[in-house]
Structure 1
Amino acid sequence: MRILMVGGGAIGLLSARLLAEAGAEVCLLDQGALGGESSWAGGGIVSPLYPWRYSPAVTALAHWSQDFYPRLAEQLLAETGIDPEVYVTGLYWLDLDDEAEALAWAVREGRPLHSVDIGAVHEAVPPLGPGFSRALHMPGVANVRNPRLTKALREALLRMPNVTLHEQCAVSGFIREGARICGVRTADGDIHADRVVVAAGAWSGELLTSLGIELPVEPVKGQMILYKCAEDFLPSMVLAKGRYAIPRKDGHILIGSTLEHAGFDKTPTEDALASLKASAVELLPALVDAEVVGHWAGLRPGSPEGIPFIGPVPGLAGLWLNCGHYRNGLVLAPASCQLLADLMLGREPIVDPAPYAPQARIALPPCQAPL
């Protein structure tokens, strides 16, 4: 089976890896550099920011992925020599408005989320600011160094003889034979395949408009800033008022992020910089005199309720989706890609695929709508 993967972020790269491991011939292409969009720009927390606020569909994928990430990092390091740095620091949520709902969710889902005294938080996280009164803690939460993750996945795919990678190769349309999609058109020529998977992140909805398909995936801009501190400056991730601080092993501290509907504009703005710096100082006052060493924006693939589209497109044989992960692409990637591979290869799926099925969740032209 020859599979064409459109989109080379974490979702496309990991999907390609799993399908190639199963023996498929995989061609992966991206309009830019592999891993260069939201998979590079995100923070890499291996948890939804507020997991209790999501539907069971998101929770199921998140739990499976969280348990799988350490093994994935070990595999990629052994194969490529590139460490994705899955860094278990735990996460503190501060002054939540829905603390009771969070604790009830933790009991229901069997997750280790507990209320902790704010004094104990200050002892565990000495640079934390003084203006907080309540905290919840989940000790096992990790973050992944997302640029290194995509770099490791790219290197792993380059070593597989049944995988071909094409960067700077934008799709201009699909090759269609009746009710079947059998490839894509690019500036470098047509590429044919038995199945085409759209994993193009924020660009997925726009890409499918050429087929008359209304896929509710749209770009949602997020800006972040980066500081460089001592390696032991921040021992845990902290989150308050929708903003978070993420420590990397080498002392870099990420502060994010904004939530903006600005189309495909990825321009960093001075307003966002000022807002993020204010949040950074509120969380960690010692950053007031620290230099911002990075400021960037990425485009999340916004979708209804943040539930991704995973599965075949009804009425167009050969066309599949793995997109629309919104703010949780890196969190949900291992499970989403495993589910896609299970469905494409006819295996028992790791979770119930129904909540993610494109059927009934996308608008098709009348001639394609299933009876």
Structure 2
Amino acid sequence: MHHPDLCIAGAGIIGLSLALELHDRGYPVTVFDQGAPLAESSTAAAGMLAAHDPDNPPELLPLASLSLSLYSNFLDRIHTLSGIRVPFQTHATLQSVPPGTCTAESELTREDLAHLLPALTPSDHRFLLLDEQSVDPRQLAPALLAAVRATNIDLQPHTRVLSTYSIDDAVEITTPNGTIHTAQFINCAGAWAAATSRLSNISVAPRKGQMFSVVLPPSLPLHLVIRTPGIYIVPRTAGPATGRAIIGATVEDIGFDKTVYPANIDRLRTLAATLLPGIANASQLEAWSGLRPATSDGLPLLGVLPTQPNHFIATGHYRNGILLAPATARVMAEFILGEEPSVDLSPFSPARASTQVASP
């Protein structure tokens, strides 16, 4: 087998975005995936670029802000390589916030809400209007995959990384097709990261999310995202899914089970209908689930593994993988190549996870 400069495990949005970044810097890259590229959480997501979601840990904001600043160029680069333009679906979010967390000037009044979205029933929610975009991951995924395939990145789907071992100044990687040596290895395997590196102290665990999509009735035009602690409603406004809305999502700590349960979907619909009553009778298109890679503190793991030189990790993005892909690619490429990262990576150091166990 060939011996590339860099190998990545995981062909989700994080792994493929990093592969493109490294390729653009002139490095030969091989990407392995145990299944099909972009088949897991990368296409299960709703696609909100929720950098200012109040549920995000505050330490995430510098990385999230960097990613927002990179996103348009990220999509332009994908378009240049693939010929596929990925549009932003929305440009604003109605964000529910607890009482007392915003000033009277920033909180929307009932009159503001009625003017902005007449169909909304705000109930006891207080809302802010965030300048926030969203994309459709099911548009982004094929465009990103086509962009990767337009380069000489060696993409090897259905090829599981069985083991990795740091030896001298290289990493030995064993797959079903044989053993190779690479200068540097990056684990981007998402919820499967611990198994990929065979390291029990990588505290990444799957957090299941069930969600569904509906056809919005003509009486319910929706051009912005609605998000509360218990529900989000994300419309599709451009492309083949125009007129649909994604509604989600549960947060479940039940391992790798991806079963969709009608009772959970019904509960999500009921919550959504308290905000938009027209959702109650909207035609359902499909329901699905995904496995978010979660850490105990809600922050990703970005850096080198403490006990394994030349063995890096970029995972644990939880609910923000779509948002954080461009920035993760940028800072990890900088870190791996010995440059000063564009943001401080110390909050995301894998060393902090050596004694943690992921929790809900």
TM-score, normalised with respect to structure 1: 0.87
Q: Which amino acid aligns with 1:37?
A: E
Superposed CA deviations along residues 164-210 of structure 1, whole A, max 9, x for unmatched, are: 00111112212443x666232222222331111000000112323x2
Residue equivalent to 1:172: 162
**Count of aligned pairs between the two proteins:** 348
Match of 1:198 among 169, 187, 193: 187
Residue equivalent to 2:73: 71
C-alpha distance in structure 2 between counterparts of 1:355 and 1:325, whole Å: 13
Q: Identity of paired residues, percent?
A: 29
Does structure 1 conserve the Cα–Cα contact (< 8 Å) formed by 2:90 and 2:235?
no
Does structure 2 conserve the Cα–Cα contact (< 8 Å) formed by 1:84 and 1:146?
no
**Change in 2 beyond 3 A, CA 1:203/1:129:** same
Does the alignment pair 1:225 with 2:212? Answer: yes
* Structure in which a larger fraction of residues adopt helix: 1
**Change in 2 beyond 3 A, CA 1:130/1:216:** closer
Q: Could you tell me how far 1:351 is from its partner in structure 2?
A: 0.4
1:1-80 to 2 correspondences below 5 Å: 2-48=5-51, 51-80=53-82
C-alpha distance in structure 1 between counterparts of 2:336 and 2:189, whole Å: 18
Q: Which amino acid aligns with 1:80?
A: S
Query: For structure 1, which segment, 318-327 or 227-236, has the greater mean C-alpha deviation from structure 2 after superposition?
Result: 227-236
Q: Which amino acid aligns with 2:74?
A: L
Q: Structure 2: which 5+ runs fail to align? A: none
1:359-370 to 2 correspondences below 5 Å: 359-363=351-355
Q: Could you tell me how far 1:150 is from its partner in structure 2?
A: 2.2
C-alpha distance in structure 2 between counterparts of 1:131 and 1:51, whole Å: 20
1:144-293 to 2 correspondences below 5 Å: 144-161=135-152, 163-177=153-167, 182-208=171-197, 210=198, 212-229=199-216, 233-249=221-237, 250-293=242-285
Q: Could you tell me how far 1:70 is from its partner in structure 2?
A: 2.1
Match of 1:86 among 85, 88, 92: 88
Q: Could you tell me how far 1:53 is from its partner in structure 2?
A: 4.0
Q: Structure 1: which 5+ runs fail to align? A: 105-112, 365-371
Match of 2:287 among 292, 295, 298: 295
**Change in 2 beyond 3 A, CA 1:273/1:133:** closer
Superposed CA deviations along residues 40-78 of structure 1, whole A, max 9, x for unmatched, are: 101110015x63343342111111112221222233223
**Change in 2 beyond 3 A, CA 1:32/1:360:** same
Superposed CA deviations along residues 90-129 of structure 1, whole A, max 9, x for unmatched, are: 01123x32x433569xxxxxxxx93111222122113223
**Change in 2 beyond 3 A, CA 1:340/1:33:** same
Report runs of 4+ in structure 1 exceeding 6 Å deviation. Answer: none
Superposed CA deviations along residues 18-39 of structure 1, whole A, max 9, x for unmatched, are: 0110011000111111111111
Q: Which amino acid aligns with 1:227?
A: V
1:322-333 to 2 correspondences below 5 Å: 322-333=314-325
**Change in 2 beyond 3 A, CA 1:133/1:199:** closer
Superposed CA deviations along residues 188-245 of structure 1, whole A, max 9, x for unmatched, are: 222331111000000112323x2x4411100010011101226871121111242110
Query: For structure 1, which segment, 237-246 or 17-26, has the greater mean C-alpha deviation from structure 2 after superposition?
Result: 237-246
Tell me how large the CA RMSD over aligned residues is.
Answer: 2.2
Q: Which amino acid aligns with 1:216?
A: S
C-alpha distance in structure 1 between counterparts of 2:158 and 2:103, whole Å: 46
Does structure 1 conserve the Cα–Cα contact (< 8 Å) formed by 2:94 and 2:226?
yes
SS at match of 1:20: helix
TM-score, normalised with respect to structure 2: 0.90
